């Protein structure tokens, strides 16, 4: 477990992340966080050798433009699941690739693992907030991102610690907080409604729906993208688990959503039933 002093780097300290999210800037433009069962890891560029990468050549079958009915998907990260510092695993799988489609014809995508080397993609074609023609965040948008080695460090997270839970309520919930700390978080959430000039919640359920940090637009969707999965026919909390978030600059010098894309968060969830990955974006 890695412990990093607060003064070293902003990304690696949960206390600094707390102030980072809870003030004006709440989306990690330059950080990639990975989540497991009350576990958090941080993925950052490294100059050393690593089994994890950002960008580079896509080696998975099923991800080409031809395979995806004319849609180009981009490989963001690829993680080697044998690394013990990763907070999760996918039974029977060696690699976890993280993809997104930056073509404005699609906002939400999904993909399932046929096996350890091939994928099947799904696209939300009914989203009204998409363009009819191929369009990209920037002129001369790259076909792939430059390959960069990535290191993964486990961070400390205590589900009974108020400050930790306050930052990551939308990921882990509040179930292990003491009743006293749950009441503190309730008061903070009410204060947050006031800061945002939002209407006062009319019920406890609506109030706790507002405790969703680090997600600025609320908890992400919970419907599986795999059309043959029973979880695709319904939407209920808990059937998808958040496994990763990243932002516009996962590595120095690369703005995946273009030069004006700061404030974008990409959210990766895994279906508990079929392990299909669902990806969507939120912005501040």
pLDDT score, position 237: 67
Per-domain residue ranges of the chain: 27-156+224-283
The residue assigned the tokens 């968060």 is 265
Residue-by-residue pLDDT tens, the chain, 284 positions: 543 332 222 333 343 333 333 433 344 567 899 999 999 999 999 999 999 999 999 989 999 999 999 999 999 999 999 999 999 988 888 999 999 999 999 999 999 999 989 999 999 988 998 999 999 999 999 999 999 999 999 999 999 999 999 999 999 999 999 999 999 999 999 988 888 888 888 999 888 888 999 998 888 987 899 999 988 877 766 789 999 999 999 999 999 999 888 889 999 999 999 999 999 999 86
Determine the Cα–Cα distance for residues 268 and 278; give it in Å rounded to an integer. 6
pTM for this prediction: 0.89
């Amino acid at each position: 477990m890695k412990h990093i002093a607060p003064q070293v780097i902003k990304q690696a300290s949960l206390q600094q992340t707390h102030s980072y999210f809870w003030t004006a800037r709440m989306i990690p433009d330059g950080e990639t966080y990975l989540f497991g069962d009350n576990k958090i890891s941080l993925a950052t560029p490294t100059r050393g050798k690593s089994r994890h990468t950002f960008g580079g050549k896509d080696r998975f079958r099923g991800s080409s433009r031809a395979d995806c009915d004319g849609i180009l998907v981009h490989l963001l990260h690829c993680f080697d699941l044998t690394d013990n510092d990763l907070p999760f695993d996918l039974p029977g799988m060696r690699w976890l690739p993280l993809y997104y489609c930056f073509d404005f014809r699609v906002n939400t995508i999904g993909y399932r693992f046929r096996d350890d080397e091939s994928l099947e993609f799904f696209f939300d074609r009914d989203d009204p907030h998409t363009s009819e023609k191929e369009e990209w965040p920037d002129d001369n948008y790259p076909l792939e991102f430059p390959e960069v080695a990535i290191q993964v460090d486990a961070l400390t997270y205590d589900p009974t610690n108020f400050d930790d839970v306050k930052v990551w309520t939308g990921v882990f919930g509040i179930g292990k907080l003491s009743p006293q700390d749950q009441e503190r978080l309730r008061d903070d959430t009410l204060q947050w409604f006031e800061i945002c000039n939002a209407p006062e919640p009319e019920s406890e359920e609506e109030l706790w729906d507002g405790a969703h940090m680090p997600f600025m637009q609320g908890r992400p969707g919970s419907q599986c993208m795999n059309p043959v999965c029973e979880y695709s026919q319904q939407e209920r909390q808990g059937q998808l688990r958040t496994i990763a978030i990243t932002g516009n600059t996962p590595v120095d010098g690369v703005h995946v959503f273009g030069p004006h894309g700061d404030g974008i968060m990409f959210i990766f969830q895994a279906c508990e039933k079929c392990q299909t990955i669902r990806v969507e974006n939120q912005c501040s």
